[in-house]
Every structure is written in C-alpha cells, then in structure tokens.
Structure 1
Amino acid sequence: MWPNNVGIRAIELYFPALYVDQVELEKFDGVSPGKYTIGFGQSKMGFCNDREDIGSLCLTVTQRLLERYSIQPCDIGRLEVGTETIIDKSKSIKSVLMQLFEPFGATDIEGVDSTNACYGGTAALLNAVSWIESSAWDGRLALVVAADNAVYAKGSARQTGGAGAIAMIVGPDAPLIFDRGIRASYMKHAYDFYKPDLRSEYPVVDGPLTIQCYLNALDNCYQKYCEKAEKKTASLVSLDTFDALIFHSPYCKLVQKSFARIAFIDFLRLSNDEAIKKYPQLEKFRDAKLEKTYFDRDIEKAFMTLSNESFKVKTHPSLYISNLVGNMYTPSVYAGLVSLLISTSPENLAGKKVGVFSYGSGLTSSMYSLTITKDAIPNSPLETLISHLSYIKPQLDARKCVAPEDYTKILEQRETNWHTLPFEPQSTIDSMFPGTYYLVKIDEMYRRTYARVPLFQ
C-alpha cells in the first residue's frame, strides 16, 4: 500500500547574519535610485564572509533541524543534498554531513548530491518522495538539504545574489502533502547561466536569455501541469485552482511577472467567446504566440495589472524572505514556502492548495502542487511546523548590515583566497548566530575543518 499523505513534515531555514542594503548598493554602484529596490524588487541581500562555505551552511541547517524537531540521526534513512556551489569535483556535500550522523552509528543512509543550477534542491526533494513511496523504503524518514552561496562578479547582476540553506524532513502523515500523479517538467539544453570556470565562484550569465528560458520553462510546465491535472480530476485548471503559488525567485519582480504570465496563459486557453466576453479590453492579444511574447511590454503590463490583486493574495506573501535575503539558488523556492507559512495563520492555511514552480538554468524545471492538511488545531503537525519557524523574523532583524565597500572587499578576499593553501579565514565569528558552523581552516591537502558557534554564550 502507498504510505499515506507523503510530504514535508519539518522545515528549517538558515541565512547568514550579514547583509548589504540594496539602497546603499544602488548609491555605491552609481545606478539610478530604485533600480534594485523597485526595478528588481529587492531590499536586502544576505552574503557569506570567508568563515562560511557550502559545507558550513549545510551543517548548520541540518543540525538545527535535528535539534529543533528532536529527530535522532538513526531515524534518517535517506539524505540528499541539492546545491550548485561546488567545492570538490568528487566528494559530495552529503558525505560532509555524515559527520553529524557517524557518532550515533547512523551510517546506513542512502543518497548523494543533485546538481543543476537552482533546481538541485527540487531534484533532491522529488527523489526523497520517490524513495518514501518505493519498495526500498524501510520506514525511516528522508532528509533533504538545499543550500548555496550565490555571488556574482562586478556588474549588472551582482545585486541579485544571496545565500542560505533549507533542510526538510520528508515522510508519511505530513502536513504539507504532495499531490500524487500531477507533476510536469520541462528540460532543455541552454547556455543562459552556467559555471564553466572551476577557478572562480562566479557564473557566466546571459541576462536576456536566462529570463527567456525561465518564462519558456514556466509556459511549458504550467500548460503540461494543467493537461495532467485536468485529465486526472476532470475539472478545469487555472489560477483559481490554487490558493497560493510560489516560484523560484531570482528576484522578486520576475516572480510578479511570472504570475502575470500564468494569467496570460489562462486568457489564451479560454475560448474566443469567453475571452472577449470576460476581458473585452484584452481582445487584441488573442492571437499572440507565447514564444514571441517574452519581452512584450504591452502584454506584460496588461496582465500584471489584470492579475495584481490576485498576486497580492496568492504569491506576494511568499516573497518575504527573498526580498530580505536575495536569491539563495537551490533553497529559493522553498524559502518562498517558508515565507508563506510564516505570513499566514495555520487556520487560514488549512486545506489550501499550493502550486510550486522550480527552475534551474541550463535548463531544468518542474511544476507540482502541495495540499496542506485540514487539521490546524493546537499541537497538530501543521501548527507545530509553523510554530517552529517563529525564529525567522527575529533573526532577520538581528542581522548585521555591512557597507557596500566592505561587502566588495569581502568578495575580493574570497576571490584572492579561492585556491590558497593552506588557508585560515580572517573574519571573526562574533556576528554569527548561535549554533552556526564555520570554517576553521583548509589544510595543504584541501581538507576542510569546521567548528560550531556555541548555542549559549
């Protein structure tokens, strides 16, 4: 028999304790006021100094989840990591995390890393769900970790960086349930964003192409999702089907445009009579071809206006963390899920359907949906999951603001020391949150050593 209600049972978010203010970054970069804050929809950007790397990010979020939910290492049967921040061409980040499990004799744990730009966390999550629903499942829980340090070279993309990590427990009887049998993917070869230079942390980015690829993937995933869902449920699918929609968020303004894009697709899916009767002012767009409209400002403006009120209800709450931390890459879409959970009461979430669109350049993408359990009473799994996220807003407020000049120097130091051996970080740990793992040193054989900031000081 299928396990019942397989989905997300626990979730933990970590972001660094340092950020740069986007208003100050606008001034420092000499761009017009509002370019980053209004044009991109970003207000703050989290980042790592030389004390944090992908190993420390993943160690921190995993240990915090295990502790916060009192999960024993031996209860985990599968551990998968999604990341595009590569520090070794052979050794997985999952193997680094095994340091948290070995002392408890918990070494019978399947899974390794998934890598493809911002999609790796979704690949890991879907693998975990498949394991729970497979003949290989032995009754234990799956743990999914998604983390990245997103940094860019000087230029027009630097303000779209960010950093963070997500850890999720997957299992049966979950409050956030995966809708079985309704999932759509779109995979294609493209050079929109990629990291071919292993000597650098920075990607190669074709800005216009990556926006086109993102919207093209959204078009295909949404239409295929509708097709599959309508076949399964025998009912029409549209924006009205979802109580909330969350997206991978390179920056918040693109998410709003993406929501409007779905409204446009819904409009094109109507019959001519329905469309003209319901939206007579939009009749001139009836013959538009999706693949010709990625940069059509008239269509974009018309459907952003049309869908604005719905966007405020269904998607804007999911952008809370993205606006304050930036693009985390693989954790991005799941930070959107966390934002939704902390922005809405359990009673108002109960029984709701959430659409999820995940995108990774190169390109990979999927759209699926979650149904939130109807049980929102005190101490229920849903109420417990949400109450365990109460630390997020206070920690966002407790971060340290770093001047753009110092932020730039930190990135320059990372560039200089990227292949320095042996290496010991120069930054202090004073501003780090309690319980954060940090890099102690890299020895002459590239071996990394980590320590942890005490939980109580």
Structure 2
Amino acid sequence: MKVGIDKLHFATSHLYVDMAELAVARQAEPDKYLIGIGQSKMAVIPPSQDAVTLAANAAAPMLTAEDIAAIDLVVVGTESGIDNSKASAIYVAELLGLNRRVRTIEMKEACYAATAGIQLAQDHIRIHPDKKALVIGSDVARYGLNTPGEPTQGGGAVAMLISADPQVLALGTTTSLLSADVMDFWRPLYHTEALVDGKYSSNIYIDYFQDVFKDYLKTTHTRPETMTALVFHLPYTKMGLKALRSALPLVDDDQQKRWLAHFEHARQLNRQVGNLYTGSLYLSLLSQLLTDPQLQPGDQLGLFSYGSGAEGEFYTGELQPDYQLGLDAGLPQRLARRRRVSVAEYETLFNQQLQWQAEDQVVSVADDPHRFVLTGQKAEQRQYLDREA
C-alpha cells in the first residue's frame, strides 16, 4: 500500500518587503541579500496573522467535505507556538470545522517538526488506510530588526494531506536520522526572537546533510544518480545550494547539471517568501513540483529536513501519475499579487505583533484579506475570526 502526500497548499501574508530595498536601508550591498543569501523578497507577517491563522489559511482551500470527514489526526509543527500548554492544532481543527473525534497535537524541534509529523502520520495511515491526516508546518521567523539574521526572516504555512494512494508523492518507508544537542539556534521562553550562531549553524546544516544522505545511500544500497532531484530545507536559498554542491562529487557531470537545474526550480518560490521554519522544506517541494517542467511521474525525489539544535532526516518519495492535481496551482499568481511595503511599514508591522502580556489587546484586521484572522486577546485568550462562518 502506498502512503504519502495527497495534497499540498501554502499560505503566507499578502505583504512583502523587497530585499534590495531592505539591504540599502541596512547599509548593505543589495547583492549580499539577493545573491549572498539568495533571497529577493521577504514575507511581512502582519499582527492579524500568527501560526494558527496561517495554518488554517493554508489548509482550508484544499480540503473537500470528504477530506474533512476522513481526517482523524492533525499535527502542527511549529516553533512559533502561542501557548506553552495548549496545542495550536486544536485551534486549527476548530477553525476548519473538523470532526471532534480527531487527535490534535503540536510538535516542536526547530524547523524539523513538520517532518516528524509526516512520519507519525504515515504510520497512522498504514494502520488506518481509510483515514486521512493533516500535517501543517506553520511559523513566523523572527530575529529582530537590524540584526544579522534579519534578512532570513519570513513566514507562512504549508498544509499537507497524508493518505493512502496519494495523488502527489508516495513516501518511502526507510529514512536516515541524526540528532545531537547542538547550540546553533535556540529561543528561550523569555525571548520573542530566536538566538542564532549563524556561521556555526550553516556548518552544522551541511554536516548533517552529508551524514544522513550518505547514510541513506549506504543503508538502502541506493545509487545517488537514481534520484531525479534533491529538495532541501531552505531557511534561505543559498543554504540549500551549498548543501547540494557538497553532494555533486558523488555523481557525474551530467547528473550534476541536472541536479543544479532542478534546484533552481525548487528554490524559486522560497526566494519570494523567506524563511518559514517548519514549512521551508515543503514550500521548496511545492516549488519544485509547480515550476519544474522536467519532472515526470515515477521520478524519485530526495528530501532533506533539518532543525537546528539539531536534528536531520533524509528520506525519499516517488512522484505519482496525477501529482499536479494535488498542488496549490494558484500559488505563483497569489505571490505576484502581494502588496509591497516600504522598510518603514515593515518595521512598524514587526513591532505591532500581539504582545506577550495579560492585558486585553485589539488587532486591526481591516486590511487583511485572509479568511482566518487574529483579532486580538481578551481575558488572556486569543481571539480568532473565520470570516466565512
């Protein structure tokens, strides 16, 4: 029985800041951002959106009544959780109108957690093939204004429906894993922005990729050239390119050129959004599937998931005959329709995020076009609105 990704859909803000403009404001050469980190635009998340609303906005458009009836597991991977106890998945399930006989959990391990959710969901579906699982990677990446990590911010959510006989990608059952206590990136409970040792984190990322990729090849007796493309977690797109380059010596010149060409498609949409932590790998996968004309059913894709702190996993999937039917086909057009904000507007929105305090707060949603929005906080409870309810 095949189990894997049946549908993928993405949501982010309707706003972005131009990276060349941000570079000038930060007295940096534009090419440092455009080429050095490989980003052209960065999603600006307004205070009316958080990990819950982004997740719901990503999932709702792809779910049919049949899907909703079959879902009995919801996993939200996030490092932008809104409560230290209550899972964001419970809010998401309620907003989506899911059956109450559903298991709802939140998973955390930096950018890796959505992959853990997919592995859990696969096992669940193999036991219950008549059911479906909803796995969402949803995050708002924040490092602070005028910090070294600022140009690698962003945000959004990728929703994936996991099922038997999937439309998009049948996932393999063998993976390679690596984890260790590494202080390359962390966020103490008293911090609203992440702390990161940037150069060290970049080195650990590449080390982990090389380890799990080579281990996968060894344990599965797989030749690297049998993989049509390698898809990476992309906190910024240059990071994935560095990792890919480290694998090129394993294949001949023709395969190297093919891998590099496929990678340009895989990072196309991430360049326009920026970092979304747990969803970054899966936005790259969606970008690959939407924009790469050289893909064919039956192609094997290798996926590298990484979460700082640190945990890495490599696994593969086989592209299915009708994979285009399960994709968020309107995504490139939606990204093109976003409104560009000035650096000053971006900074104002960054500072207007809902505060971590007990007092009631009101958030303006007048300019937010999304179905699900955060309207504020009352009696220490976040207030969400479904505009179609």
**Band of TM-score, shorter chain:** over 0.9
Question: 1:439 matched to which residue of 2?
Answer: 374
From 257, 271, 287, give the equivalent of 1:323: 271
2:167–2:325 CA contact under 8 A, matched in 1: no
In structure 1, runs of 5+ residues without a counterpart are: 231-235, 268-277, 280-305, 376-380
C-alpha deviation, 1:179, in angstroms: 4.4
| Secondary structure at the counterpart of residue 89 of structure 1 | coil
Distance 1:32 1:72 in 2: 48
Q: What residue is the counterpart of 1:352 in the other structure?
A: 299
The amino acid across from 1:315 in the alignment is F
Structure 1 ranges of 4+ moved more than 4 A? none
Query: Which residue of structure 2 aligns with residue 237 of structure 1?
Result: 223
Q: How does 1:253-402 map to 2 (within 5 A)?
A: 253-264=238-249, 266=250, 309-345=257-293, 348-373=295-320, 375=321, 381-386=322-327, 389-402=328-341
- Specify whether residues 72 and 245 from structure 1 end up closer, same or farther in structure 2 by C-alpha distance, changes over 3 A only: closer
- CA, structure 1 residues 190+107, in 2 after alignment: closer, same or farther (shift >3 Å)? same
Counterpart amino acid of 1:447? Q
Distance apart, 1:405 and its partner CA = 1.4
Q: Is this contact kept in 2: 1:148–1:331, CA < 8 A?
A: yes
1:215 equivalenced with 2:206 (yes/no)? yes
Structure 2 unpaired stretches of 5+: none
Q: What TM-score do you get using the length of structure 1 for normalisation?
A: 0.80
SS of 2:278's partner is coil
| Superposition TM-score, scaled by structure 2 size | 0.94
CA contact (8 A) 1:118 1:329 kept: yes
Q: 1:116 is matched with which residue?
A: 109
1:8–1:171 contact (8 Å) kept in structure 2: yes
Structure 1 pair 33–60 and aligned structure 2 pair: CA distance change class (3 A): closer
Give the letter for the 1:356 counterpart. Answer: L
Aligned equivalents of 1:438, 1:132: Cα separation in 2: 31
Tell me, what secondary structure is at the counterpart of 2:352? helix
Which residue of 86, 89, 97 maps to 1:94? 89
Aligned residues: 388
How far apart are the structure 2 equivalents of 1:71 and 1:21? 40
For residues 252 and 413 of structure 1, what CA distance do their matches in structure 2 show? 28
C-alpha distance after superposition, 1:103-125 (max 9, x if no partner)? 56x11112411101000110111
Which residue number in structure 1 is paired with residue 350 of structure 2? 411
Q: 1:430 aligns with which of 346, 354, 367?
A: 367
Distance of 1:57 and 1:81 partners within structure 2: 11
Counterpart Cα distance in 1 of 2:129 and 2:241:
42
1:173 matches 2:165:
yes
Would the aligned equivalents of 1:251 and 1:327 in 2 still touch at CA under 8 Å?
Answer: yes
The question of whether the paired residues in 1 share the 8 Å contact of 2:262 and 2:288 is answered with: no
Report how far residue 453 of structure 1 moved. 4.3
Q: Which has the higher strand share?
A: 2
SS at match of 2:353: helix
The one-letter code matched in structure 1 to 2:197 is: D
